[in-house]
A and B are shown apart, each in its own frame.
Chain A
């Protein structure tokens, strides 16, 4: 049987960065708005709010997804990881460290989405070459144009830290 409701809020459970949240939400709340406005996890950014820029990228059950196009209630039971959940006990995720090492940002607005997307890319394991990294990161737009360094950072982590910037280009 369906759980039909005319009620304004729907009870759901989400595990966000390892913490269980029991929530009651109107169905029109997007995952991005839930994170930013209700849970004050403002790392994921609202850039275009229409799935074109990638700044809102988070990991849902390990998959990178645009959180601006997800109704939060439709992901009841999911495990969400945001940029705030990547570091481990104060130690940066290798991609976070690589982004700093390679100066892979300027204004930083797209960076949380870029890094979450890159975590998803590594997990998917379909990118080997530089070309494939660039193609598979095309859902993340950087207005500052830090793409070369972003690809350097990802390539270094992908190849186990063995690639120098010169070799990457």
Chain B
């Protein structure tokens, strides 16, 4: 680990000021990803601004009938929060599908959004990686790419965003509340993470010096008609090859609203709102879901070792939409996907 200056911030303004004076600084919250990356010399901050004392741990009702989740609420705090579990069980389920109990006890909401890819080449500083070292090339293209992107990648980067929580937040139309040198703003979740294009070193649309202060969930309740299905190489404690967050509403046997986000396939959680509109007004049948799945992945591109993700993705979408339609969400302790 490189040597660095350490600053403990006692207010949000304090934290933003401490970072502004030092462009190679990093905010430290739970540290579960940043400290790991520092051990690998992938992250080499000159200054660490410790934000753990900031008053950003609370989970509160919003005036609009939603929930505001403080950026420092841990993944465990959120997953087991009674309001989240009752009104946004899709979010609880996705969080509990990720990492381990120990990591969820330390990892924070803001940090989960900011975690870096687990691409092997990004982590290994002896290899080429445009995300780690812009302009150095991409080892994964033509290399070992079983876990890599099939949607939205570029010739510079085929890494995927590793989060489970973010897939649910994308489906739930969350917003990200940030504060920076220029003030506060709300970023719609779909615009928070970005595609790699030619600048894969940028994972998201945060501006220099901005701090995530909260994630805001809009009002809305899908009852039992939701699910999070995560397909991985072992039954627990592994990153997704494919994951799907789905939620829908029906009226008189017709789909009136449907949301579907996919993880493990792109540089950001993947949604296709135009296709969701097409599914509205149709009955929730396996055939309609199969059509949706086919169209959802129509532009998918395998890179060799990850070609299997395209068919796996289609099947996971159908299974997830069937579970959501039946109102039988996947239990993350039950390893059988029905």
Determine which of B1, B2, B7, B236 lies in contact with A5 in the assembled complex, contact meaning CB atoms within 8 Å.
B7
Are A50 and B39 closer than 8 Å at their CB atoms? Answer: yes
- Tell me if A164 is interfacial: C-beta within 8 Å of chain B: no
Chain A residue at minimal CB-CB distance from B52: A74
Interface string of B93-121 (1 = CB under 8 A from A): 00000011111011000000000000000
A83 — which chain B residues lie within 8 A by C-beta? none
The residues in B between 202 and 260 inclusive whose CB is less than 8 angstroms from any CB of A are 235-237
The interface stretch among B8-16, B128-136, B292-300 is B8-16
B32 — which chain A residues lie within 8 A by C-beta? 51, 66, 69
Are B237 and A139 closer than 8 Å at their CB atoms? Answer: yes
Chain B residue at minimal CB-CB distance from A116: B102
B100 — which chain A residues lie within 8 A by C-beta? 54, 138-140
Are B35 and A71 closer than 8 Å at their CB atoms? Answer: yes
Determine which of B7, B38, B52, B102 lies in contact with A64 in the assembled complex, contact meaning CB atoms within 8 Å.
B102
- Tell me if B334 is interfacial: C-beta within 8 Å of chain A: yes
Are B3 and A28 closer than 8 Å at their CB atoms? Answer: yes
A3 to B49, CA, bound (A): 10
Are B332 and A135 closer than 8 Å at their CB atoms? Answer: yes
- Tell me if B50 is interfacial: C-beta within 8 Å of chain A: yes
Would A1 and B10 be within 8 Å (CB), given that A70-B106, A136-B101 are in contact? yes
- Tell me if A49 is interfacial: C-beta within 8 Å of chain B: yes
Are B35 and A117 closer than 8 Å at their CB atoms? Answer: no
A121 — which chain B residues lie within 8 A by C-beta? 101
Determine which of A4, A28, A50, A134 lies in contact with B1 in the assembled complex, contact meaning CB atoms within 8 Å.
A28
Would A4 and B50 be within 8 Å (CB), given that A64-B105, A136-B101 are in contact? no
Main secondary structure, interface of A, reads mixed
- Tell me if A124 is interfacial: C-beta within 8 Å of chain B: yes
Determine which of B4, B14, B18, B103 lies in contact with A139 in the assembled complex, contact meaning CB atoms within 8 Å.
B103
A63 — which chain B residues lie within 8 A by C-beta? 76, 105-106
Would A65 and B7 be within 8 Å (CB), given that A71-B31, A74-B31, A135-B333 are in contact? no
A142 to B140, CA, bound (A): 31
Chain B: minimal CB distance from A162 (Å): 21
The residues in A between 61 and 77 inclusive whose CB is less than 8 angstroms from any CB of B are 63-66, 69-71, 73-74, 76
A65 to B52, CA, bound (A): 15
A70 — which chain B residues lie within 8 A by C-beta? 31, 35, 106
Are A73 and B105 closer than 8 Å at their CB atoms? Answer: no
- Tell me if A149 is interfacial: C-beta within 8 Å of chain B: no
A121 to B100, CA, bound (A): 11
B7 — which chain A residues lie within 8 A by C-beta? 2-5
Interface string of B33-61 (1 = CB under 8 A from A): 00110110000000011101000000000
- Tell me if B155 is interfacial: C-beta within 8 Å of chain A: no
- Tell me if B80 is interfacial: C-beta within 8 Å of chain A: yes
Chain B: minimal CB distance from A154 (Å): 13
Chain B residue at minimal CB-CB distance from A75: B52
B332 — which chain A residues lie within 8 A by C-beta? 135
Chain A: minimal CB distance from B138 (Å): 23
A6 — which chain B residues lie within 8 A by C-beta? 5
A129 to B37, CA, bound (A): 36
Interface string of A21-45 (1 = CB under 8 A from B): 0000011101000000000000000
B76 — which chain A residues lie within 8 A by C-beta? 63, 124
Are A73 and B101 closer than 8 Å at their CB atoms? Answer: no
- Tell me if B308 is interfacial: C-beta within 8 Å of chain A: no
Would A3 and B8 be within 8 Å (CB), given that A64-B101, A71-B31, A139-B100 are in contact? yes
The residues in A between 114 and 130 inclusive whose CB is less than 8 angstroms from any CB of B are 117, 120-121, 124, 126, 129
Are B8 and A139 closer than 8 Å at their CB atoms? Answer: no
Are B101 and A2 closer than 8 Å at their CB atoms? Answer: no
Chain B residue at minimal CB-CB distance from A130: B333
Are A66 and B333 closer than 8 Å at their CB atoms? Answer: no
A30 to B39, CA, bound (A): 11
Determine which of A10, A57, A131, A137 lies in contact with B334 in the assembled complex, contact meaning CB atoms within 8 Å.
A131
Chain A residue at minimal CB-CB distance from B35: A69
Are A1 and B14 closer than 8 Å at their CB atoms? Answer: yes
B2 — which chain A residues lie within 8 A by C-beta? 28
Are A28 and B4 closer than 8 Å at their CB atoms? Answer: yes
A101 — which chain B residues lie within 8 A by C-beta? none
Given contact pairs A51-B103, A70-B31, A136-B101, a sample of 9 additional A-B residue pairs in the complex whose CB atoms are under 8 Å apart: A2-B8, A26-B3, A28-B2, A28-B4, A30-B35, A54-B102, A64-B101, A69-B31, A71-B50
Pick 5 A–B contacts, CB within 8 A, sort by A: A63-B106, A69-B36, A70-B31, A71-B48, A126-B80
The residues of A with any CB-CB pair to B shorter than 8 Å are 1-6, 10, 26-28, 30, 49-51, 54, 57, 63-66, 69-71, 73-74, 76, 117, 120-121, 124, 126, 129, 131-132, 134-140
